Structure 1
Amino acid sequence: MAQPIDFNKSEQYILSIRLSTDGFSFSIYHPQYESEAYFSSSPVNTQRSMAANVKAYLTETEELKHSFKQVNILIHTSRYTTVPLELYEDEQTELLFYQNLPPQSNEVILCNILGKSNVVILFGLDKLTHLFLTEHFPNARLFASVSPLTEFFSHKCKQNEGRKLFAILHPESMEVIGFEKEQLTLLNSYPTSSLHDSCYYLLNVWQQAGFDQEKDALYIHSNTQADQWEELLLVLRKYIRKLYIINPQMEFNNLTLSLIKQIPFDMLSLTSCE
């Protein structure tokens, strides 16, 4: 069971912040005494820019004003691209990024090197948001939210044969990650306004990528508490025999944070990037 956080020893804790258009959240936990854990989430002001929301969040959230042992910042974004690790060169970061995505002004391109997956994920963040974050947390590690997901699922695939598709559903989007054994074969994000959208994209990806209805497996997780969730699973089971629900408690051995229903799965999977 979670215990209260003692901010007098905040420098022993790990802070992880997640920034998304559908809300901001953060978790705090002690890496040795994992029962000392805390999670909080809040909506964003849709009338403000991301930078303005971030500035207000950092200014007004008392828990974020302490010093921490480690700070992770997750940017939930679809503005990313992947590069095979063996082909990546640091001085070509912007060139590689804008070959795959349209140019955008006032943007900084960041890089996550994923050693377990053998890929590099490049992602964009507006310069003012980046400035606010790095001024407040100079030593923070910044990740695209798909980065820890990719590392986590890559490790999960190493001991298993066959092809696997992983889908993480959010209120307004979905990440889909595909592997053949431990080899990353597919990574994409889709905007979704309902679970029906998620069903459409998943079945389309399954078909277009040539997954086998009988042999290959789909793993799916959703934080949404929608009535349509069971309906989505019923539809998917008509077309995919090996359909599994991702259980955070089982995946993370009942880690205290994993018992919190509202915590995003990408935040939990940050442990794979340690």
Structure 2
Amino acid sequence: MKITIRITRTTITFTAPNTVIEGQTDFEQYNMKSGIAVAANLRQALAECHILKTQTAPERQTSAATSQHHPVFDTATVYVDTPLLLIPAEEYDEEAMPTLYHHVNSQYKDDNVVGTPIPQINVVAAYAVGKDLSFVLTETFRTVHFMPLLAPVLVEFCRHSYGGFQEKLFCYFHDRRIDVCAFRKGRVRFCSAFDVSLTPDAVYYILNVWQTLGMKRTDVLCLAGSITGHEALLKELRRFIKNIRNITI
């Protein structure tokens, strides 16, 4: 059975089908503790996770004592929130990928680099996965599949980019960060992330990208995610952008 784990800078969440009630999905969230590594947070979250404890079938608990892997959930899909390097699929070179990624994101030079194809937008997403993090996960689950947190978001934004003659800029707010991206004819035109703590910071970064891409006042700005100070943000942005939409992803 598969469990999905989402690891961000502030939380770790677990999502899995309930093994007792058919059709029910269980969800559990662990808040990151500051001052300790992500891998240490994950190890503690795994130890405290009620989904992993309560959904261990009693008849399997004996075998669990002799196995290093979880007796019910043998597969984990793990979404990690580290910076992305989007490589056009036709230019992707698996051997060169780690060097390219570490050149752009030198703070992750000691981490493994994983490449995940996103065929819907014709790119391979390169991202960092900590070695200690991988070790903790492979201790618990027989099979671990990594995915970039932003992958499904990019696919959904690309889908929304079709239709109409106006250019569209997409902003995804989460974990005190904005991921900003734009598409043209199904290809990525721009994709970057900015750390934000205050509404003026968010306004500055969005308008800076808007101007850099040469977008017009009548083009469309699409906002999604968990937005702090939503009304204040809209008030400032509407001074410069006419069409602002909130979309659900």
Instruction: Compute the TM-score of the two structures, normalised by the length of structure 2.
Output: 0.83
RMSD: 2.4
Are 2:120 and 1:116 aligned?
yes
1:27/1:98 Cα in 2 relative to 1: closer, same or farther (>3 Å)?
same
Query: Partner of 2:11 in structure 1?
Result: 23
Cα displacement (A) at 1:85: 0.5
1:152/1:137 Cα in 2 relative to 1: closer, same or farther (>3 Å)?
farther
Cα displacement (A) at 1:25: 1.5
Q: Percent identity?
A: 24
Are 2:36 and 1:48 aligned?
yes
Are 2:236 and 1:235 aligned?
yes
**Contact 2:112–2:131 at 8 Å: present in 1 too?**
yes
1:130-173 per-residue CA deviation (whole Å, 9 max, x = no partner) reads 21123323323211212221122223334554422111112411
Are 2:214 and 1:213 aligned?
no
* Aligned partner of residue 46 in structure 2, secondary structure: helix
**Equivalent-residue separation in structure 2 for 1:61 and 1:70 (angstroms):** 16
**Contact 1:114–1:120 at 8 Å: present in 2 too?**
yes
**Contact 1:167–1:219 at 8 Å: present in 2 too?**
yes
1:38/1:49 Cα in 2 relative to 1: closer, same or farther (>3 Å)?
same
Cα displacement (A) at 1:55: 1.1
* Aligned partner of residue 239 in structure 1, secondary structure: coil
Cα displacement (A) at 1:245: 0.5
1:199-255 per-residue CA deviation (whole Å, 9 max, x = no partner) reads 1111111111211111x211102324x4x211111211221112100134xxxxxxx
**Equivalent-residue separation in structure 2 for 1:130 and 1:62 (angstroms):** 21
Decide which of 134, 141, 144 is 2:145's aligned counterpart: 141
Are 2:73 and 1:85 aligned?
no
- Number of aligned residue pairs: give it: 230
Instruction: Compute the TM-score of the two structures, normalised by the length of structure 1.
Output: 0.76
**Equivalent-residue separation in structure 1 for 2:41 and 2:74 (angstroms):** 25
Cα displacement (A) at 1:51: 1.2
**Equivalent-residue separation in structure 1 for 2:73 and 2:157 (angstroms):** 28
**Equivalent-residue separation in structure 2 for 1:34 and 1:96 (angstroms):** 45
1:61/1:94 Cα in 2 relative to 1: closer, same or farther (>3 Å)?
same
**Equivalent-residue separation in structure 1 for 2:134 and 2:74 (angstroms):** 20
**Equivalent-residue separation in structure 2 for 1:92 and 1:70 (angstroms):** 29
Query: Partner of 1:63 in structure 2?
Result: 51
Cα displacement (A) at 1:123: 0.6
Are 2:30 and 1:38 aligned?
no
1:72-120 per-residue CA deviation (whole Å, 9 max, x = no partner) reads 211112x321111100022222122123222645311011111000011
Counterparts in 2 of 1:107-256, with a 5 A limit? 107-159=111-163, 161-214=165-218, 216-224=219-227, 226=228, 228-248=229-249
Larger radius of gyration: 2
Which residue type is aligned with residue 225 of structure 2? Answer: S
Which residue type is aligned with residue 63 of structure 1? Answer: I
Are 2:61 and 1:73 aligned?
no
* Aligned partner of residue 89 in structure 1, secondary structure: coil
List gaps (5 residues or longer) in structure 2: 57-71
1:247/1:94 Cα in 2 relative to 1: closer, same or farther (>3 Å)?
closer
**Equivalent-residue separation in structure 2 for 1:132 and 1:160 (angstroms):** 47
1:70/1:127 Cα in 2 relative to 1: closer, same or farther (>3 Å)?
closer
1:28/1:161 Cα in 2 relative to 1: closer, same or farther (>3 Å)?
farther
1:223/1:29 Cα in 2 relative to 1: closer, same or farther (>3 Å)?
farther
